[in-house]
A = this chain, B = another copy of it.
């Protein structure tokens, strides 16, 4: 019998509850503020666009929140996802490191986003909602929500960032196959979209703009709610199934991670894998020396170079104010190919953990990321999403460090999705067209100059 490379569990081992890190924080995260009053918002401020159950989850400090059985039933199609050991990669690197990855690409839309999409669709259906509106960048989230809506008989309206809409016709087609209505953002359909187009008819769009459009239509129609694919606490909560399963699977492997790595755009796949480990550490249940590393593109460096401040979640300033690492809500990232890691802000809980020094953050250039992704695909077979390539690049750095130091550490990372819909980016890389990009200091400073002033 050869070495074990896959750790699978039967479906009874899908967690019964999501894990909420807010129960274990040494310092509570700063509250979400109302932009008009500067005071913490109440549930009623969010009720126009979210169902009450999700609002409750957003502010809950309960450690465990039960996963409804209809959601768990859908999870069972692809969960528990396997944990793999990357033996071929280890051998190729000649590293003493033990590299593990949790693979979320087996969900039908191909990424971790399905974990929260199904939950959000369920709670909205329970609340009598008929339609969900949302934004999407690379399309992982939009296609996940489109699938989630189909499962519960909801309509789905997706504002897709223009540059991705044009670069990723296959993702758009997937959403449409799942029955969603997909519109390029900025669009003429909303006041927010029209305002942007008036200034720049050729705007490539941004997640911030697309969020404004989706929130606007949800706020104006009582049958329509809004759904967000990352950033918010309840979204990170739903992703905690990843880390909970991984913890059990690492135990099956007879191992414990020394380093946990995830890529960060809005922060949800990273948090999904990492928070259960951080929580265990905070509760004194081991993992005292665990390092947790968030990896972001240098072209959208919110955690590494943004400001930790209150900012809007969207460009049109329709959302409440979130305390997070931000590049400014008017930030429009360069048209790099990692569509899913282009948000101006960061999940407030991820930012909070960063300020508490419970996690680290690094930025990686995209050529290094794609080189890592191609190496991984050739060795391990699975073709990673460009987002996940950031995590892989960091894993390779850590594994090389183990080699230099002659130390064997266990590295666990989240392979958050496959890259089947991102092949044009791989083609660009393989043909040498992909360029590195570092955001200029003065541009970041300019963008940050427009942060909202918050009444104290």
Whether, in the assembled complex, A286 has its beta carbon less than 8 Å from a beta carbon of chain B, the answer is no
Contact with A381, one of B84, B147, B381 (Cβ below 8 angstroms): B147
Cα distance, A73 to B87, chains bound together (Å): 11
A424 in contact with B381 given A6-B11, A8-B10 (CB within 8 Å):
no
Cα distance, A76 to B70, chains bound together (Å): 30
Asked if A6 contacts B69 (CB within 8 A), the reply is: no
Chain B, Cβ-Cβ closest to A427: B173
Asked if A177 contacts B420 (CB within 8 A), the reply is: no
Cα distance, A73 to B179, chains bound together (Å): 39
Which residues from chain B contact A379 at a C-beta distance below 8 Å?
A: 150
Q: Is the interface of A mostly helix, strand, loop or mixed?
A: helix
Among A174, A178, A423, A427, residue most surrounded by chain B Cβ atoms (within 10 Å): A423
Cα distance, A345 to B73, chains bound together (Å): 43
Which residues of A from 58 to 115 have beta carbons under 8 Å from B? Answer: 69-70, 73-74, 76-77, 84, 88, 106-110
What does the 1/0 interface line of A6-50 toward B look like (CB < 8 Å)?
101011000000000000000000000000000000000000000
Whether, in the assembled complex, A287 has its beta carbon less than 8 Å from a beta carbon of chain B, the answer is no
Whether, in the assembled complex, A176 has its beta carbon less than 8 Å from a beta carbon of chain B, the answer is yes
Chain B, Cβ-Cβ closest to A79: B6
Cα distance, A358 to B69, chains bound together (Å): 43
Asked if B73 contacts A77 (CB within 8 A), the reply is: no
Asked if B151 contacts A5 (CB within 8 A), the reply is: no
Among A5, A69, A420, residue most surrounded by chain B Cβ atoms (within 10 Å): A420
Whether, in the assembled complex, A377 has its beta carbon less than 8 Å from a beta carbon of chain B, the answer is yes
Whether, in the assembled complex, A411 has its beta carbon less than 8 Å from a beta carbon of chain B, the answer is no
Asked if A377 contacts B426 (CB within 8 A), the reply is: no
Other A-B pairs beyond A74-B381, A150-B379, A170-B421, 17, CB < 8 Å: A88-B151, A106-B106, A108-B377, A108-B383, A147-B381, A150-B381, A151-B381, A170-B170, A170-B423, A170-B424, A173-B423, A177-B378, A177-B426, A178-B378, A418-B420, A420-B420, A421-B423
18 contacts between A and B (CB under 8 A): A2-B69, A5-B76, A6-B11, A8-B11, A88-B151, A108-B380, A108-B381, A151-B381, A169-B424, A169-B427, A170-B420, A170-B423, A173-B424, A173-B426, A173-B427, A174-B426, A177-B374, A178-B377
